[in-house]
Copies of this chain bind each other. A is one copy, B any other.
């Protein structure tokens, strides 16, 4: 499914969803997955023929997306255009909180996973005494005041190429713990602490594990320099807890060239 195909009509779609209540991207037997919803909705556009999908990156249960990119291989012959793909799949996704934002026919050798040159994520913390009402399910609620400037200082120690074993889930299936972190910033926006990050790829739970350590710095349990020490230890037990999925959002994926062109 990853090589150019002459027997299918390959499409790239960009999707947004609220991950609350889903088991994550990947199909599983124990609940509703986003993959299952997308593939089923796409199949309805073509007489219920199967439409296999590949994602630029998986998401865990409860994680959200506002720019996850998916590859769909429709059966030939196909006469669908970008607007029909976008609006048709979105229609069949009702009443779920999953929509298609964009659709594009990519270059023949494009692959949602292997052609991606970067992925970006945002992690949002609600930092105030009272639990979230409006943002329920979409933030990590931390009562203790966090120092965003100190968290940002700590984050700088993780930039660049490192062995990220200290921030890697035991379930991670990547061949190597080496990753190159291109962006990791922390800023306060009112009651929210916003963590933005970008890399060619991430290890499993890497973002949530980095945030779990950054919040330790944020409330003063650790100095910012501790982050370099944790990284050097290459030991998951030295780092902070895994931040909950609620605050995480898969923001965007980079391709060169970008298959997505503006649609009205």
Contacts and interface: CB of A to CB of B under 8 A. Distances in A.
Interface in A47-104: 64, 66, 86-87, 90, 97-101
B18 A133 contact: yes
A22 to B, nearest CB: 12
A259 to B, nearest CB: 17
A167 interface: no
B16 A90 contact: no
B264 A129 contact: yes
B18 A136 contact: yes
A261 interface: no
A174 interface: no
Interface string A1-20: 00000000000000011100
B133 A17 contact: yes
A145 to B, nearest CB: 7
Contact of A134 (B18, B130, B136): B18
Contacts of A200: none
A87 to B, nearest CB: 7
Given A18-B136, A136-B18, A131 B264 contact: no
Contact of A129 (B64, B66, B130, B263): B263
A130 to B, nearest CB: 4
A113 to B, nearest CB: 22
Nearest to A66: B134
B145 A128 contact: no
A101 B130 contact: yes
A134 B138 CA distance: 8
Contacts of A97: 133-134, 136
Interface in A192-248: none
A152 B26 CA distance: 44
Contacts of A249: 134
B98 A133 contact: yes
Contacts of A16: 130, 133-134
Contacts of A136: 18, 97
Contacts of A87: 129-130
A28 to B, nearest CB: 21
A134 B99 CA distance: 9
Interface centre among A87, A133, A145, A263 (most CB of B within 10 A): A133
Interface of A: 16-18, 64, 66, 86-87, 90, 97-101, 128-134, 136, 138, 145, 249, 263-264
